[in-house]
A and B are shown apart, each in its own frame.
Chain A
Amino acid sequence: MTRHAFLLVGLLAALVATVVSGLVIGAVSIPVADVLSALGGSADAQTRTIVVGLRLPRVLLAAEVGAGLAVAGAVFQALLRNPLAEPYVLGVSSGAAVGAVTAIVLGMTATSMLTLPIAAFIGAIVAITLVLGMAAAAGRGLDTHVLLLAGVVIGAFFNAVILLLVNFADLETFRAAMLWIMGSFNGATQESVTTVAVWVLPALLGLGLLARPLNLLSVGEQSAFHLGVDVRQLKLLLYIGTSLVVGVCVAGSGAIGFVGLVVPHALRLVGGSDHRWLIPACALTGAAFLVFADTIARTVVAPAELPVGVVTALAGVPVFLWLLIRHEEGM
């Protein structure tokens, strides 16, 4: 077995362990044996309600969103040849949140399996187009500083738009909308788990199949072109794929930051930059990371709970700053 395959099996085991502990740990601690029998359908009704009805959707949603955001981060980094690129930092998550909130405020959530993800997807596409457009207008293409500034400014703008939109809403809508800004798995349901799975898993599979041309693109667009990659078409597919993933994840749980930064970076240190390894590894590790972060978020100040975005930001900001400093030093 190659080293990468060995590592992937290890990461899969870690994901399973994190998911199980996410089901075990909570306001009421449930022994592993009872968790397993509840999953098998044989535990008592109360245990089944807690494990299968409450915790399982939450853990599964966190896993899906973690996988999606980590892979989206890795793809953005290769696409922009910038280790600091990430859906949240680039303002793409905020754009998706505007899309989702607009749909909610307009009362279009009745068929939320379709409208909410599509609205968030459109928001994400608009945001990335604006950020790249701003960077291009500044005349320095993919310059790190311009991109990050554009992302921060666009993100701030979209957050203001969200606040503006929810001001017109009733109290319950306001609460729901605030979730999108903070990022939380509190509202996870079986339906949201299914919705995210239906959109995100095929998109992740598609991005994974593009791993080889993505490797070439990460070396430079000109080189990729001359090595036989249809660069324009590839970039279009990647932008659509990542926007879809980010949009649907944000629709499911709100704008959770830094997962797409921390996870790919750690995995590059462990196993290198080959996307044939990096993308599946990001999916597994991102899933485990967010399940773990959410377990912390709902237990550390129990019975109250932290937005999971707070936990990921506390972990992510130091990594971001460290990367920024290293980047400035010319790496």
Chain B
Amino acid sequence: MYEFDWSSIPGALPFLWEGMKVSLEITACAVLFGIAWGTLLAMARLAAIKPLTWLAAGYVNLFRAIPLVMVLLWFFLIVPQVLRGVFNLSATTDVRLASALVGFALFEAAYYSEIIRAGIQSVPKGQVAAAAALGMTYAQAMRLVVLPQAFRNMVPLLLTQAIVLFQDTSLVYVSALADFFGVAYKVGDRDGRLVELLLFAGAVYFLICFAASQAVRHYQKKLNAHGAH
């Protein structure tokens, strides 16, 4: 019978906390960038200009059909080489981590764009007509009338996606980035207590994500109760 020994965890807490900060930073970056880029993609996909629609649809379908871990590896291993070649960067400039982060955000944007597209489509067409009839340009109608309503409808879905994204950040361990999962793994490996550390890390992920899901559910109930406006 395996004997658990949790003694290496208390000492590792400062490292783990540093790792958690990295995980949260990656999550925040990817959420912000994902929503911004995802909004543009969604608008491109709904635009009247056909080539723009095709480009956006191609992008979204491509990223949704590739495993995230592969995208991360490409951006960690291949893209930096290409960048170095193109921009003539010196060998000492390490762009691998930044590149992996960009890859992560680009990947998540594909998922966000689908949520946002559904959100935009949930706003009745008459709202766009009313905005246009008041003399607003398409951009004004989007910015002032459609997107605020779309985002309000989408908040629960966007938050749920953020929780998924937070879990996905654990995949950046392939890029040698010291996130929470990566740190837990390293500490466990160092002390020969991998099982304990991974169980502990799992419990932390579970607690955070479960609590966040409950908060989203609570918020959604409140939103539904207010329904009409």
Tell whether A pairs with B: no
A residues contacting B by CB (< 8 A) are: none
Residues of B within 8 A of A (CB): none
